[in-house]
Amino acid sequence: MIEQYLLHLFIIACVYAILAMSLNLAVGFTGLLNLGHVAFYAIGAYTSALLAVGLGVPFWGGMLAGGCMAALFGYLLSFPTVRLKGDYLVLGTLGFTIIVEAVLKNWASLTRGPLGIAGIPKPRLLGLSLSPLPAYALLALAAALLTYWLLSLVVASPFGRTLKAIRDDEVAAGALGKDTFRAKAKALALSAFLAGVAGALYAHYITFIDPSSFSITETILIFSMVLVGGTASLLGSVAGAALLVLLPEPLRFLPIPSDIVGGMRQAIYALLLVLVILKRPQGLLGEDTLRDAWARARRRRKGA
């Protein structure tokens, strides 16, 4: 029983780790204050769930389709928003979240509105069902590791350096030959793709989704994970996700009426966020990736 519970938390933490790392690509590495991440998460989850329930498309195809659909929306969203700066970008992406939420609630013939989609099948691999929790936990872990690997490759590449330059000074990056609109559009698309994959991973695990799983508070939660862990740090995002998933769990075991547990969760997140902002503004793991730290350590050893 306790084992099941821990595996469940592990799976949820993996999903959020993917969400936080991919959001960090936009927020921490590129400097795009994107409050629309949960919309990409929802698009991935709904695409994959509808394909599976309606057309019997297997999980793997649905996951890919969910990621691609989210990426497409990320790319399209970039056109009006990458030209915007700071506050306007925040408003633009927030507006996008609200639109997607409204569509999920009201386009009932497609999304079944507030009733949600039930009976989303668990994935199968090579004829084996991945429905036992340990198997699904391995799948979630693999997805999180792949995300980490892919993103650390991207942020350490010349393209990643371009993103950081755009974050530091967009005008200068343009004057030094970087097509800043295109780079931001690509970063947003990749970020959205990974959020879409996380959505599919979540939908096929929980087997039931409705619009309330993708509300604006989810956006704030994912954003908090990035800030707590540290912007421009992939490991930080993993740590932030794990921390924010685990921290409110003890509430379950306290004799508190269930209707105020939700409020207390929010309070804990808020408290943690304030604490981090005051005590450690760069986040738990600063802005360094493991690779940066390693490179520095190696240089120090060589005495160069």
Segment contacting other proteins by CB under 8 A, of 95-103, 119-127, 164-172, 255-263: 164-172
* DSSP letter for each residue of 122-160: PPEETTEE--SHHHHHHHHHHHHHHHHHHHHHHHHSHHH
Distance, in Å, from the CA atom of 139 to the CA atom of 201, rounded to the nearest integer, reads 9
Q: What is the CA radius of gyration of the chain?
A: 19
Residue 195 tokens read as: 């959020």
Would you count residue 85 as binding other proteins (CB under 8 A)? no
Q: Which of 61, 95, 174, 248 binds other proteins (CB under 8 A)?
A: 174
Would you count residue 187 as binding other proteins (CB under 8 A)? yes
Would you count residue 249 as binding other proteins (CB under 8 A)? no
Number of other residues whose CB lies within 10 A of the CB of residue 156: 14
Would you count residue 288 as binding other proteins (CB under 8 A)? no
Q: Which of 56, 127, 177, 255 binds other proteins (CB under 8 A)?
A: 177
Q: Which of 141, 247, 251, 287 binds other proteins (CB under 8 A)?
A: 287
Name beta bridge partners: 124.
Answer: 129
Check: CB of residue 183 under 8 Å from CB of residue 31. Answer: no
Check: CB of residue 221 under 8 Å from CB of residue 244. Answer: yes
Segment contacting other proteins by CB under 8 A, of 73-81, 115-123, 175-183, 218-226: 175-183
Binding mask 216-245 for other proteins (x = CB under 8 A): ----------------x-------------
Q: Which of 180, 213, 224, 237 binds other proteins (CB under 8 A)?
A: 180
Q: Which of 83, 252, 280, 299 binds other proteins (CB under 8 A)?
A: 299
Q: Which of 99, 102, 125, 153 binds other proteins (CB under 8 A)?
A: 153
Residue 208 tokens read as: 């039931």
CB of 159 to other proteins, least distance (A): 5
Long-range contacts of 124-130 (CB under 8 A, 24+ apart): 124/58, 124/59
Would you count residue 291 as binding other proteins (CB under 8 A)? no
